[in-house]
């Protein structure tokens, strides 16, 4: 394990991430890192996954002492596997106050320039910047106050309005007036597409030379919303697909096409050439915190089988990560393969699309605690712009028990497979 004595503390931050604790002692500072890693535990966002058998925990505590110039003068560590438990490999968002967030989850307010911001009274404050993102490259930092966007003051601007103001195609520019301390400066930042890229596996030839790309079959869930075969799913399930097919509950399969897509909100509208039962969309109905919900889907079909699975829970919050107003937080158990499934209320109406799960291992690294059933569904109102008005059906106003709902709607939900 290399020595850090003589190094600048910022270079340590770049390797290990920001410390979990800092202490001032006279003119020196002490920095502490506490980390652990569970090897073999599931780590996923919905739609992608890696898992292994058995669980083993590695722990490490590091301490660095730096002088007033930020030069490391002393360091030590203790734990059963410090070189293995590197914090730095998981550090994507630069943030001195880590929060439970997956680095894969970048579709946040103001994400086109790689920042996350929160409204605190009249102030729009940057809470995180994406490492090597447009904002960080331009010089923006955590704690900066965004005073204006393209000369429009943010003091009376909602977070939603700020999000809309900063949106724009990649390669276009946005001007932000930034206040840092007592100084103000305008930054002109070029927008970029910072959507995470999913790696494709490669295999090597017998000669061990030329890599060969192997087709990927991505498995997710979708559901019909009209009697003539229109359906909704997540965009990330069908992204870059060369061929798509659906497999109904009865085992029959059909090719499908994508009609429209909303990449920013992770929603896609598709069409199958057949007559179908369908689910009504509760596009104008307000959901409540604590409301009971269920989802149907096809998680882990290679492990748990090809039968449709039902899981149940409640709406825990009316906003998602970092108060993202587009999402519900739910405790409905979901796994890779549930992506694109309907979130259904007790009237049998769709109120959301199951989209994402909080990355457990990242949350463990950042907070020291494992989250339990922290999952997210995009609100169905964000799918409405993709859907023609005649397709939007409100359904019944009568509450039903979950068994009755499942018997009514199970044939409207299918397994969606994308060859990429």
**CATH number, residue 151:** 2.30.42.10
- To 5 degrees, how large is the angle CA 374–CA 377–CA 379? 140
In sign, the C-alpha dihedral spanning 385, 391, 396, 397 is positive
CATH number for the domain including 281?
2.40.10.120
Residue pair 287/328 in contact (Cβ under 8 Å)? The answer is: yes
Which helix (H) or strand (E) segment holds residue 134: the answer is helix 134-138
In this structure, is residue 99 part of a structural domain? no
Tokens of 134: 């447009």
Domain termination site, one of 148, 170, 190: 190
Residues 20 and 137 in one domain: no
Tokens of 108: 């946040």
Residue pair 95/142 in contact (Cβ under 8 Å)? The answer is: yes
In this structure, is residue 118 part of a structural domain? yes
Which helix (H) or strand (E) segment holds residue 136: the answer is helix 134-138
Residues 270 and 397 in one domain: yes
The domain in which residue 269 lies consists of 218-419
pLDDT band at 325 (very low <50, low <70, confident <90, very high): confident
Residues 171 and 227 in one domain: no
Residue pair 322/125 in contact (Cβ under 8 Å)? The answer is: no
Indicate the pTM of the whole model.
0.53
In this structure, is residue 207 part of a structural domain? no
Number of domains in the chain: 3
Residues 292 and 366 in one domain: yes
In sign, the C-alpha dihedral spanning 287, 290, 294, 299 is positive
Asked if residue 66 has pLDDT above 70, the reply is yes
pLDDT in the model for residue 90: 30
Instruction: Express as a percent the part of the chain with pLDDT over 90.
Output: 35
pLDDT in the model for residue 54: 35
* pLDDT tens, residue by residue, 273-295: 999 999 998 876 778 999 999 99
- Residue 15 DSSP SS3: helix
Tokens of 270: 């598709």
The one-character DSSP state at 350 is: E
Residue pair 269/261 in contact (Cβ under 8 Å)? The answer is: yes
pLDDT in the model for residue 369: 64
Residue pair 420/47 in contact (Cβ under 8 Å)? The answer is: no
Alpha helices, H only, 268-373: 301-304, 360-367
In this structure, is residue 98 part of a structural domain? no
Asked if residue 301 has pLDDT above 90, the reply is no
Residues 255 and 391 in one domain: yes
Residues 172 and 312 in one domain: no
pLDDT band at 171 (very low <50, low <70, confident <90, very high): confident
Residue pair 81/10 in contact (Cβ under 8 Å)? The answer is: no
Q: What is the mean pLDDT of residues 241-253?
A: 93
Residues 32 and 176 in one domain: no
In this structure, is residue 306 part of a structural domain? yes
- pLDDT, averaged across the chain: 75
Identify the CA nearest to 254 among candidates 269, 239, 276, 280: 276
């Amino acid at each position: 394990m290399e020595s850090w004595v003589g190094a600048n503390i910022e270079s340590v931050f770049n390797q290990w991430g920001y410390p979990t604790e800092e202490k001032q002692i006279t003119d020196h500072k002490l920095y502490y890192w506490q980390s652990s890693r569970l090897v073999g535990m599931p780590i996923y966002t919905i739609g992608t996954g890696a898992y292994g058998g058995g669980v083993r925990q590695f722990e490490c505590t590091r301490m660095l002492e730096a002088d007033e110039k930020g030069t490391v003068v002393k360091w030590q560590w203790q734990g059963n596997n410090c070189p293995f438990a590197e914090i730095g490999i998981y550090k994507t968002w630069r943030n001195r106050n880590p929060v439970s967030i997956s680095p894969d989850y970048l579709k946040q307010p103001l994400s086109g320039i790689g920042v996350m911001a929160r409204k605190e009274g009249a102030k729009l404050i940057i809470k995180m910047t994406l490492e090597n993102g447009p904002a960080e490259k331009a010089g923006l930092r955590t704690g900066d106050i965004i005073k204006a966007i393209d000369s429009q003051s943010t003091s009376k601007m909602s977070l939603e309005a700020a999000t809309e103001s900063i949106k724009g195609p990649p390669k276009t520019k946005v001007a932000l007036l930034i206040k840092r301390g007592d100084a103000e400066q305008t930054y002109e930042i070029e927008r970029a597409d910072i959507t995470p890229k999913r790696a494709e596996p490669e295999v090597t030839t017998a000669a061990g030379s030329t890599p060969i790309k192997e087709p990927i079959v991505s498995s997710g869930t979708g559901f019909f919303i009209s009697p003539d075969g229109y359906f909704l799913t997540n965009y990330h399930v069908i992204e870059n697909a060369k061929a798509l097919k659906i497999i109904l509950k009865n085992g029959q399969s059909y090719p499908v096409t994508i009609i429209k897509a909303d990449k920013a909100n992770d929603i896609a509208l598709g069409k199958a050439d057949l007559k179908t039962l369908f689910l009504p969309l509760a596009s104008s109905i307000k959901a409540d915190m604590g409301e009971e919900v269920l989802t149907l889907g096809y998680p882990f079909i290679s492990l748990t089988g090809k039968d449709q699975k039902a899981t149940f829970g409640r709406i825990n919050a009316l906003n998602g990560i970092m108060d993202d107003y587009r999402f519900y937080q739910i405790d409905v158990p979901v796994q890779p393969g549930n992506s694109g499934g309907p979130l259904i209320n007790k009237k049998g109406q769709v109120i959301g699309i199951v989209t994402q799960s909080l990355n457990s291992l990242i949350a463990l690294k950042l907070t020291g605690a494992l989250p339990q059933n922290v999952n997210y569904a995009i609100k169905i109102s964000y799918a409405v712009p993709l859907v023609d008005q005649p397709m939007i059906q409100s359904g019944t106003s009568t509450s039903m028990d979950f068994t009755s709902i499942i018997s009514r709607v199970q044939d409207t939900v299918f397994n969606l497979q994308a060859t990429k």
